Structure 1
Amino acid sequence: MPKKSVIRLNDTTDHGGQVITAIEKYIYQDAPIAGKGDLVVCPKCEGTFPIIEGSESLKYQGKQIALEGMSTECGAKLIASQSEFLA
């Protein structure tokens, strides 16, 4: 299975939304990394929704890390702003 980019705070979604919470102590290139349960604002669905997927192989203190293409509760897909940190 090809590796995918890790999602960070302020990354976007295919619904035009943005990641608004992340793991404050897990930083990559000056931005906290997001995981399952972190929140995304979605203008298309008019609300705030959690990320509902996470990597089985990459975790931080037990929290699964979100990767590009994973979903939020409203069905939006996450879009990474970086392509160097893969899992």
Structure 2
Amino acid sequence: MRGIIRVGDTHTHGGRVESGAATSKVMGHAVARVGDTCSCLVHGTCTIVEGDPDFNVEGRAAAFDGHKTSCGAALNSSVVDSGRI
């Protein structure tokens, strides 16, 4: 299962997801989507550029484990039991 990405989840460049959906939450944390921002220890600020087009959250594709940021990092879900098969 690919876990959904939420605000606070990390990525492979050492940063974390900083923004997410206004009202859609999983286990108390906002769901991250294409266009939401991340911090990056290598590149500064980046955005999520990949998501599942079949899983729309507040008008944008939701991000899942392994999806990429604009700086090339792969997102890491902290909730591997909540996502897509």
Query: Into which bin does the TM-score normalised by the smaller protein fall?
Result: over 0.9
Q: Percent identity?
A: 31
- Give the SS at the match of 2:22: strand
Where does the alignment leave 5 or more consecutive residues of structure 2 unmatched? Answer: none
**1:43 aligned residue:** 41
Question: In the aligned structure 2, how far is the partner of 1:16 from the partner of 1:61?
Answer: 27
TM-score by length of 2: 0.93
Residue 60 of structure 1 pairs with residue 57 of structure 2: yes
1:23-52 alpha-carbon deviations (Å, 9 max, x no partner): 02001101010000000100112x111100
Aligned residues between the structures: 84
Cα deviation for residue 61 of structure 1 reads: 3.0
Cα deviation for residue 17 of structure 1 reads: 0.4
**1:86 aligned residue:** 83
CA contact (8 A) 2:19 2:36 kept: yes
RMSD: 0.9
The structure 1 segments of at least 4 consecutive aligned residues displaced by more than 2 Å after TM superposition are none
**2:31 aligned residue:** 33
